[in-house]
Every structure is written in C-alpha cells, then in structure tokens.
Structure 1
C-alpha cells in the first residue's frame, strides 16, 4: 500500500517539489505549432504551475519567457510583436527571444536601464508540429532519434487535449494494456476500411480480425514487462487459438511518454504534461510508416470532440461525458460514445483531481504501472541526490536511441516473439522514408 506522503511525492510538480525537480530536467511539450497563428503568434502557457509566454518573432525565431514583465509584472501574453521581440503593452518595454531587454521607451533619452534588465528565457524547439520547452537549470538533454522525430513532416500529425486531473493518473491509463478490453469495448465491429485516424478501430496487422473483436473476445492478456534503454517495453499476449496469438507491443518512454500502435501503419507517441497538480495536457505525435498523414482529416476528426482554443473536450464531467444508459446496454461498455479519448478522460478524471493511491488494490495486470512507479521513485531519489537519471542523454547516445518498436498484430503462437520483431523490421524496410532501425 502507498502512503499519503508517497502519493504526494510522485504527483506534485510545483517549483521545488521532488517530482517537479525531476520533470524539469526534461523537454516538455508546451504548445502545438498550430496554436501560434501567422497573424499573431503569441500564446500564454502554464507548465507545472508556472506561467510563461511563447511567441514567434518577425524572423521566425521561437521564444519562451516568464509571463510577467520584469518591469511591474504586467502580462506579456498581451504584448505587441514588433521590432525584433515582444513588447509589453503597459510601458512598451521590449524583450527578444533570449530575454534581452532591447528598449525601455518611456525612460529618458540615453538611459541604460535596459542593459541592466533581463527577462527569464527558456530554450524552445519545434519537433513534428509540437513546441518543446525546457525550464530546468542544467543543459537540456538531447532528443532521441525516435520515429516521431525522424519522420518527415508529411508523415506526422500532432494534436493535444486537456484532462482535468493529475498528470500521473493520466499517464498510467496509457501504460495499462488490460483496460482496453473493458473501457474501450464495442459490442459490434465496424467496417475496418473506415478506421483511418481512429484508434482500436482497424484490423490487427497480418489479419482481417478487427481489433475491437480481439479486445472483446480475449479479455485476459498475459502482460510481460521488461526494462529498456528509454524506460520500459510492455507486451500484451492474447492467445486466439492453438496456432495464433495476438501481440501488442507498447513502450514507456521516461519520464512521461508512451509509444503505442494505432494501426498497422501508424504509431502514437504521447506525453502527459502537467499544467499544474490538477490538470494536464496530452500531446500526441502520430507517425505513419505508410502513406503521408491526412492532416486535414485527422484534425477534423479530433475537432468533433475537442473545442478550441483550449482543446477541451465537449464531453466532460459537467455533462456526464455524454453517458447514455441505452447505449451501455447494447453498443459500448461505457455508454459514453465511440471516441476512446472520452473513455480515458472519464476513467482518469473519475479518480479525482489527484488519485488517492492509498485506497487502491493493484492486480497482476498492473505490473507495468508498478514497474513505472519504481522507475519514477528511483529517479526522484536520484534527482534529490544530484545524480543522473534515465534519458538524460547526450547527442551521441540520442543517435542510438531509435524506434521504439510498437506493433499490434496476429502471428504464429509458437513464434510470437520473433513475429513482432520481424513485423517491425518489415514495416521499416517498406517505409517511404528512412525509418531508423529499432
């Protein structure tokens, strides 16, 4: 059983907290590139209880600054983009992407005040449609050569969504292979040819069997968890008959991401990023090993549920997630529609703003969650001791961190382990872009 103090330690991420100090050692998604429109690319961002402003200047350079102006604390997110930086609307003080004060126009002619003022600035880079910021004290780690970062822009698609709960319980639903047989169960299978852009709706690779049928009829997977250079590899095996086994390979990328299969040709790399202790965003990069992604279709599909500008779900706790008791009887396990994002949101938000883990009773299928929590606690302790932690990598190490393999398919029961590895190699060899060997 977990104590209240242990639960506090692994969930709270404000400045100075143990988990907060750990997560600040890593790049964090802070915005979608789509959120910085051409006409005024400025956005307020809240990350781990701190407030920032992200912008793109006239030369196309991204900047990330503390949101409060160092003059008298006004909101820089309301500032003017001009003259090589972001100008505060209160007194016109101007700051560039590096935080340097370029001018203090209200001061007397010849004033050198701007030379003595600097706004806190943070590294920010664009990767596959997501802006990653770094708010740690030391030099940031390198980005691994994972598929989502190696693929050309045409073969990726990025999106996000808000969960009104703590980041850790939101992450843990994604590293739980067993829940899909229940939470995402559909009582009837749809035409898999209409499954593009939708998770758990197509056919498992190397078969004509809809994934919905696999999850529904084979609800007790054997779960294998093994350590990996990037975190953990999870394999869920579902024997279908004497000759065939369904194999689903997923990955936990430390500290707070996972890589899972979406379809036979597409994977999802997803981060759960704390806004504060009681809210988080999921950020996802969809990576295609087949045809270029249809960004317009995938965006349109997701905007049916998510509402701009804050990417909040139209189905939420205030309307009971669209629950329909008649649907629950005959169509879906939850009665909350056919979008699995709604199911996940209900599951994690219903645990409370911060799940009370002192009341939980973990089972055999929770072995992935148990293994991740051990990694997390170990990394928090190492951070407190000033020691390096998992995935604090340099450029040389990053170049060799590829993949990771993420497969959902049906293969020979006696060769299931070889099957998923061969499937990954085959997909990479046939990819229209040079997919790194996993």
Structure 2
C-alpha cells in the first residue's frame, strides 16, 4: 500500500510532473513505421499529455513537430505534405522536418517573417519498425545494443495497441509472473505446432510440456528479483517434481519496457508509452533467434483484435471485453477468449483510469512490483536533483549492453542460473545474426 501522493508521483506524466520529467529523458515509441507507409504519411501523436504531428517528407526524412501552427494555432495534423515539408492549410506556412519555416506565402514579397519563425521540433529515430522520438531536455541518450535493436529487419516484427488506463498499471502486468497461472489459464492445451505467433502456447526449452500446462498445474512460482545494469531481472521457478524445475527469466528495461520469452526461439520486448495520464499505447517488438518471422501472419492475427488506423481494441469496457460466463466455466479462467492481450487489457483497464494503490495489499508474489516502485522513486529523485537517471546512456555505455536474457525452460541439473545462462548462450551461438551473450 502506498500513499496518494506517491501514487500521483508515479502516474502523472504531464510536463513538469516528477515522473513526466523522468520519462522525457528517454526515447519513446510514437508510431509504427507501417503507419507512415501510405499515400499520406502524416500522423497525429499524443505523448505524455502533449500533442505533436509526425510525418515523412518526399525524401523519406521523418520529422515530429508541435501540432499547433505557430501562426494562429491551427492543427498541423491536417497539413499538406509538399515542397519538402508540412504546409498548414490555414495560411500556407511551410515547415520542414527540423521545424524550420520555409515559406509564409500570405506575407508581402520580401517579408523576413519566415526567418524569425521556428516550429518546435524533436529528434526522431527508427529502430526495428518503430519510430521513436525524444521530447526531453538536452541530448538524447544512445540506443543500447539490445537484441530487438540488433537483430535484422527480417527477424523482428513490431505492433502496437491502445489501452485505456494509466501506463504504470499496464507495465506492472509485465513484472508479475504469478498472474499468468490464473489470468492466462486455459483448461485444455492447444497443439503448440498450430499456434505460430501466439503467446503462451509453445513448449518450454528442454521439455515437451506445453507452457499452458506448466502455468495451470504449477501455480505457486518462487520469484526472485535482482538489480542489473538495465533495470531488474526476474527469475520464476516452478518445481515440477524432484528432478525438474521450470525456469522463466524475464526483465524490466528501465524505465518502461519488459522483455519476456514468447517461445524457445522468440522474445518479446514491450514498452508501455503514456498517451496521457489515462491512456497508453503498448509497443511490442518480437525478435527471432532462428528463422525470419512470418510478419504477414503475425500482423493479421493482431489486426483482428487491434485494427488500424488507431489500434483500438475491439474488445473493451463498452462490451465487457467479450466476457462469456459459459467460456469461463468450461474453457478459460477469465472467460474472455484466448488472446492473452485481451486478458491483460481487462486486468489493467478494470482497475480504472488510474489504479488507486492506496487500497492494494501486496504479497510475496508482488516483490518485483515493489522493487520497481523503489527503483522508480530513486530515479525520479535523481532527475529532480539534476542527475542522470538509469539507462540514460552515452554511446560507450550503450555499446556495453547486450541481451537481455529472456528464457523459458526446464532444468534437470539443479543449477538454475547456470542452466539458463548456458541455454541462452547456445541459442545465441546458433542464431543467424550477431546475438551476443549478455555481459
């Protein structure tokens, strides 16, 4: 249980708020590259309670500008993409990707007004199918050499979806290993071979046990949390019998991403990005250590529930997230279908726009959440004191980060850490791209 003041500190993200200032010190995902592939590559962006417009010009350069035209405040998301920039339809003022004013056509010939105008602009970078932007002060941090950024385009797939709740309750689902045994419980196991692209369907490494069976039958994980250079590492052990232990290693990459295994060969890196205090987009990068990903299949699977252009879920509060009491009795623990994204969405959105943490009672299984909140408090205080927070990296620091290890397997040797480290090293050695072992 925390105080209302603490809860406000963690969840409010507008400019000038403690957490908002922390999150502005990092690159934030703002769009899928796919969203700017159409005939009009212009997208409105709302990030951390502020409004921007993202576009790609005729030369392929990405730019993100303040959304209100500096002339009379009209909405540049409706601008005309032409002549090397984005033109406001109100009076024809034209801005390039850096925010430079190129033309003020309604002004008299010879006017120097254009030279004095500059629209707010923000650094933009593209990584693995996601457009990132930096809206904070000072120089942006360097991108770390994480697997999801190092793997080739053929071996990564990006997607996103909107959840109508605060970013923190969404992120905290990803650092809660215990919930998977209940929220994602299926009463019957699917054929793992027929479940390509779906989460919690495969078998674990070194085992023929479907992960659905492991989660269902061994529902008291032994959870440990360790501080690591990128944030936190979570290890969850589920003893199966005297000779076998299911081992699952996941990570929190500070400030707001988690890395988990989807299958023996694919990992998931997922950011929860505040739109404002009451909404967030999750951005997910799937990374394969073996074959190229079937992006067409994975995209179609996800668009069926999170359709473009806004990626708002078809199942939501207005239709009770598709809840079916008969299904809850006979097929799934929750009764909301077999897409675990919907399960997590319900768990987060049903808490309300901002969870009232003054009413919660945490247990031993919530130790990762407790550790993360302590870490978040410490890094908020660093920024308030003018210090550099965790994972705000320079180029040299970023080049030293690898991985992180995300693993799901069954150990029979009794040395858990050696098991997952050796298993991860073998997987990386066999990868067709430079998947270096974590330091």
Per the shorter chain, which TM-score range? over 0.9
Query: Which ranges of structure 2 fall in alignment gaps of 5 or more residues?
Result: none
Match of 1:310 in 2: 310
Match of 1:388 in 2: 388
Q: Give secondary structure in 1 for the equivalent of 2:414.
A: helix
The CA distance in 2 between the partners of 1:139 and 1:433, in whole Å, is: 30
The CA distance in 2 between the partners of 1:6 and 1:432, in whole Å, is: 46
Moved more, 182-191 or 405-414: 405-414
Cα displacement (A) at 1:382: 1.0
The CA distance in 2 between the partners of 1:272 and 1:38, in whole Å, is: 25
The CA distance in 1 between the partners of 2:436 and 2:62, in whole Å, is: 28
- Tell me whether 1:371 sits opposite 2:390 in the alignment: no
The CA distance in 2 between the partners of 1:238 and 1:98, in whole Å, is: 52
The CA distance in 2 between the partners of 1:125 and 1:147, in whole Å, is: 17
Cα displacement (A) at 1:413: 5.0
The CA distance in 1 between the partners of 2:416 and 2:137, in whole Å, is: 45
The CA distance in 2 between the partners of 1:91 and 1:43, in whole Å, is: 20
Cα displacement (A) at 1:355: 0.2
Cα displacement (A) at 1:243: 0.9
- Tell me whether 1:117 sits opposite 2:117 in the alignment: yes
- Tell me whether 1:15 sits opposite 2:15 in the alignment: yes
The CA distance in 2 between the partners of 1:207 and 1:171, in whole Å, is: 30
Q: Give secondary structure in 2 for the equivalent of 1:312.
A: coil
Q: Give secondary structure in 2 for the equivalent of 1:16.
A: coil
Query: Which ranges of structure 1 fall in alignment gaps of 5 or more residues?
Result: none
Match of 2:351 in 1: 351
Match of 1:31 in 2: 31
Match of 1:48 in 2: 48
Query: For 1:156-235, what aligned pairs fall within 5 Å after superposition?
Result: 156-235=156-235
- Tell me whether 1:339 sits opposite 2:339 in the alignment: yes
Cα displacement (A) at 1:330: 1.1
CA contact (8 A) 1:26 1:140 kept: yes
Q: Give secondary structure in 2 for the equivalent of 1:313.
A: coil
CA contact (8 A) 1:242 1:413 kept: no
1:330-355 Cα deviation digits (max 9, x unpaired) = 11000000000000000001111000
Match of 2:103 in 1: 103
Match of 1:85 in 2: 85
The CA distance in 2 between the partners of 1:172 and 1:360, in whole Å, is: 13
- Tell me whether 1:399 sits opposite 2:416 in the alignment: no
How many pairs does the alignment contain? 438
CA contact (8 A) 1:245 1:413 kept: no
The CA distance in 2 between the partners of 1:290 and 1:316, in whole Å, is: 35
CA contact (8 A) 2:413 2:419 kept: no
1:97-121 Cα deviation digits (max 9, x unpaired) = 1100001011111111000000000
The CA distance in 2 between the partners of 1:303 and 1:202, in whole Å, is: 22
Query: For 1:247-258, what aligned pairs fall within 5 Å after superposition?
Result: 247-258=247-258
Cα displacement (A) at 1:415: 2.0
The CA distance in 2 between the partners of 1:193 and 1:270, in whole Å, is: 24
Cα displacement (A) at 1:295: 0.4
Cα displacement (A) at 1:234: 0.2
The CA distance in 2 between the partners of 1:205 and 1:302, in whole Å, is: 25
The CA distance in 2 between the partners of 1:76 and 1:334, in whole Å, is: 43
Report the TM-score, using the length of structure 1 for normalisation. 0.99
CA contact (8 A) 1:165 1:280 kept: yes
Cα displacement (A) at 1:225: 0.3
Cα displacement (A) at 1:126: 0.5
Cα displacement (A) at 1:388: 1.2
Report the TM-score, using the length of structure 2 for normalisation. 0.99
The CA distance in 2 between the partners of 1:404 and 1:426, in whole Å, is: 15
Cα displacement (A) at 1:206: 1.2
